[in-house]
Structure 1
Amino acid sequence: MRIAALQMRAIPGDSEANLARIAAAAADAAAGGAKLLIAPELAVTGYGAGEAFAQIGSPASGVVAERLGAIARENGLAIVAGFAETDGGERYNSALFTDGIGTNAVYRKSHLYGDYERHWFRPEAPGSIMVELGGIRLGMLICYDVEFPENVRRLALAGADLVVVPTALPKGTSGTFIANHMIAVRAFENQVFVAYVNHCGADDHFTYAGLSRIAAPDGRLLAEAPAEGETLLFAEIRPEDFARSKAENTYLYDLARQI
């Protein structure tokens, strides 16, 4: 299965503009043969929306899901995109999977990063949200979640082939290390594909690292974006191509033997 990842410069608080950008990327992704488009953390609202989160949040089955579902349906692909989810009086930093034809799933971020996220969002207990697309089992995490190895391992043990990680990685030394080293290690140590999809540019609150990455089970990068500028990455997700890597690096099998 071919996937696409949108490194995006979102406009904080302008959901219409951000949805239009995702729609344009979906058309380009579909033209490039992709069956899945991944957009960054809080791509619909902009990560730096701040006070606007209170006005532009949406329920899991609300207008954001409807709009992303329509974009997916019109382009014949599935979409994963971050949004601010409202549920009663609570707000979550969430990612929606939709194929536009009846399969929706929402993952809520479990590990909130810093005072900014803790002010605007409620954390969810760690869990394994899984869907199947084109014969690929897909699990979801958001940004800081991937920096805790237990989260990726949990999805791998649940049978994930691909872990998608919408993110808002900030620019800096640690961000560069995460993108250039940690993502490939997470893929290698769990024998899964990892798609880590970031913002670029800056807003009033944050400057983003860019450096989106798609890593393979053997630790190789299948696609990588620069630090600056929007770009659409493509990669082929073929688990059978990595049978040799799984045979050599039997972490999950050996772990199961000890449980």
Structure 2
Amino acid sequence: MRVALCQIEVGDDPKENLDRMRGALAAAPDADLAVFPEASQVRFGNELAGFAEPLDGPFVTALREAARAHGTAVIAGVFEPAGGGRVHNTVVGIEADGTLAGSYRKLHLFDAFGDRESEHVAPGDRPVVLDLAGTRIGIVTCYDVRFPELARRLVDDGAQILAVPAAWAQGVFKEEHWTTLVRARAIENTTWVVAVDKAPDASRPPRGAPGGVGRSLLVDPMGAVLADLGPFPGVRVAELDPGVTGRVRERLPSLAHRRRDVL
């Protein structure tokens, strides 16, 4: 499987962001799957309820058309209306033929480091594994990556790959946390992780701290980093070999060694 890590800039205009997403797909014509950041529709710091759309609305519809035009499956973050002035922080999975394969609403909201995501975002209520691009992909959105029990649940539910779209807030030690946590989720679950953060904000958002540290990563089931996009916008297509998972698990059967009788 050829995976495109699409580390795009995300700004305040959904039309401009959609154009960046189309450009990224055009830059990866041989990719089977393109993974975009959390909140690719519009960056945090805006009045999100004013941008939220149902999944059959214009933004996702245009993204489905782009996936079909390029023949590439897509994972990307958008916002859905949630009622009460809040939104759902949603990741959609779109097949290469433009079919909506499913969606995941972020479970763990970023009420940390002085931020209060829950003021504007309503939490989801279930983990999601998508049947997408010929495999099973568990979705972990940004702050979710700090909760290893979610990643383990997704693997138990049959995920062969973990996708982590993010808009990782900048701050002291934040980049270190990002790279460490992404690798940890791969190592402890002996699984592939495709983690795509947005490029760092080029300008300060309307309110709140800047987001994005870059450093989008492709990590194999042994924890080896096969791609690291650094701090600048870019698209990297890398090979993901599903057969590596079985070979690693033969050598390192930690999942099979779990003490389910006591834990």
Residue in 2 that maps onto 1:194: 193
Paired residue secondary structure (1:21): helix
> Does 2:109 align with 1:106?
no
Deviation sequence 1:188-209 (CA, Å, 0-9, x none): 1101111111122323231421
Residues in 2 aligned to 1:72 and 1:15: alpha-carbon distance in whole angstroms: 17
Structure 1 partner of 2:55? 60
Partner residue of 1:175?
Answer: 174
**CA–CA separation in structure 2 for the residues paired with 1:58 and 1:9:** 21
Matched with 1:239 is: 242
1:233 to 1:17, Cα distance in 2 relative to 1, 3 A: same
Indicate the percent of aligned positions where both proteins have the same amino acid: 31
Q: Which consecutive unaligned segments of at least 5 residues does structure 1 have? A: none
Give 1:106's aligned amino acid: S
Letter in 1 for 2:188: E
Secondary structure of residue in 2 paired with 1:201: coil
Structure 2 vs 1, CA of residues 256 and 102 (structure 1 numbering), >3 Å: closer, same or farther? farther
One-letter code aligned to 1:185: A
For 1:164, the equivalent position in structure 2 comes to 163
Report Cα offsets for 1:64-103 as digits up to 9, x if no partner: 2211100100000111111111145551111111114324
Point out the more displaced range, 21-30 or 167-176.
167-176
1:111-165 superposed Cα distances (whole Å, 9 cap, x missing partner): 000243111101112x232222343211112100011000110111111111111
Name the amino acid aligned to 2:227.
A
Structure with the larger helix share: 1
**Corresponding residue pairs, total:** 252
Q: Provide the secondary structure at the position in 2 that maps to 1:16.
A: helix
Distance 2:87 2:175 in 1: 29
Partner Cα distance (2:134, 2:211) in 1: 37
When the two chains are superposed, the root-mean-square deviation of aligned CA atoms in Å is 1.8
**Corresponding residue SS for 2:31:** coil
Matched, 1:92 2:92: no
3-state SS of the aligned residue for 2:99? coil
Unaligned runs of 5+ in 2: none
Question: After the TM superposition, which of the residue ranges 99-108 and 2-11 deviates more from structure 2?
Answer: 99-108
Q: 1:1-259 to 2 correspondence within 5 Å?
A: 1-12=1-12, 14-30=13-29, 33-48=30-45, 50-51=46-47, 53-89=48-84, 90-99=86-95, 100-114=97-111, 115-125=115-125, 127-202=126-201, 203-204=204-205, 205=208, 206-227=210-231, 229-255=232-258, 258=261
